[in-house]
């Protein structure tokens, strides 16, 4: 039986063949993610089958970075926040290869992103995990995991630090 590993995106991964069905996200993986990592902008992690050989097919990926947010009025934010923006972790992108949708991989990737966000917040502080959902359908996906909209109609969603526990994680390579 094959098992999965979560690795930081590198030269050994087959970015060109990845297709999630959402072109801007796929293009980010192909064209931008490596450069952003090299410049310290963000970190992209990819899910691979441990048995796969180079170039390793990418089953899914997500990207994390730091942001500052003015979250005084966000659902689940603590009361009495400072007036200036405070730090949070941004889940910039999350996608699963179209051929592997609906098999729980997105849920696993999200659990790993939550775990990494929790570790960052334990070390340096932070309000929680923020995501900009690509569209209304994806809002429903994130809402299943406790994310709430920042405003009633916008696509920015938030999961407070206290809610970051949970989910089946993937071993990190
Ligand atoms: C959204 C996405 C990551 C979900 O990945 P996945 O591996 O198919 O998700 P899972 O199999 O873990 O599904 C978990 C649950 O969410 C539901 N779900 C999956 N995709 C959904 C979607 N787009 N909208 C609403 N619910 C969704 C599943 O039905 C499942 O529900 P269940 O537990 O009741 O069966 C995947 O569809 C994808 O890559 N889409 C294209 C890229 C994209 O839109 N990324 C988000 C950018 S912000």
pLDDT by residue (tens digit) across 71-128?
Answer: 998 988 889 999 999 999 999 999 999 999 999 999 999 999 999 999 999 999 999 9
* 156 C-beta closer than 6 A to ligand 1: no
- Strand order of the β-sheet with 148-149 is 4-8, 43-49, 60-69, 86-96, 128-132, 156-160, 148-149
Tens of pLDDT, residues 141-153: 999 999 999 998 8
Is the confidence at residue 168, as pLDDT, over 80? no
Residue closest by Cα to atom 18 of ligand 1: 141
Report the alpha-carbon distance of residue 127 to residue 130 in Å, rounded: 9
Query: Considering the entire predicted model, what is its pTM?
Result: 0.94
pLDDT at 75: 87
Average pLDDT score over residue span 2-22: 95
- How many angstroms separate the alpha carbon of residue 10 from the centre of ligand 1? 25
Query: Stretch 7-11: mean pLDDT, rounded?
Result: 97
Structural domain spans, the chain:
4-163
Average pLDDT over residues 57-77: 94
Distance (Å) from CA 169 to ligand 1 centroid: 16
On the question of pLDDT at 1 being above 60, the answer is no
pLDDT at 165: 77
Distance from Cα 101 to the centre of ligand 1, integer Å: 7
Q: How confident is the model at residue 26 (pLDDT cuts 50, 70, 90)?
A: very high
Look at ligand 1, atom 40, and give the residue with the nearest C-alpha.
95
**Ligand 1 within 6 A of CB of 22:** yes
- CATH for 4-163 (1.20.1250.20, 3.30.2090.10, 3.40.630.30, 3.30.1540.10): 3.40.630.30
Residue 169: the pLDDT is 62
- Name the more confident of 11 and 167: 11
């Amino acid at each position: 039986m094959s098992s999965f590993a979560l690795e930081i995106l590198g030269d050994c991964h087959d970015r060109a063949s990845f297709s999630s069905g959402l072109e801007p996200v796929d293009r980010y993986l192909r064209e931008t993610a490596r450069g952003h990592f090299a410049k310290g902008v963000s970190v992209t992690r990819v899910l691979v089958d441990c048995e796969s050989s180079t170039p390793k097919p990418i089953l899914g990926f997500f990207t994390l970075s730091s942001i500052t947010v003015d979250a005084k009025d966000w659902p689940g934010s603590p009361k009495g926040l400072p007036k200036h923006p405070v730090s949070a972790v941004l889940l910039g992108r999350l996608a699963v290869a179209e051929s592997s949708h609906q098999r729980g991989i997105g849920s696993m990737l999200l659990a790993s992103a939550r775990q990494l966000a929790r570790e960052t917040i334990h070390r340096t502080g932070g309000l929680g995990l923020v995501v900009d959902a690509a569209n209304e359908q994806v809002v429903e996906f994130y809402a299943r995991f406790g994310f709430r909209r920042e405003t009633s109609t916008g696509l920015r969603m938030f999961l407070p630090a206290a809610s970051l526990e949970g989910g089946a994680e993937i071993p990190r390579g």
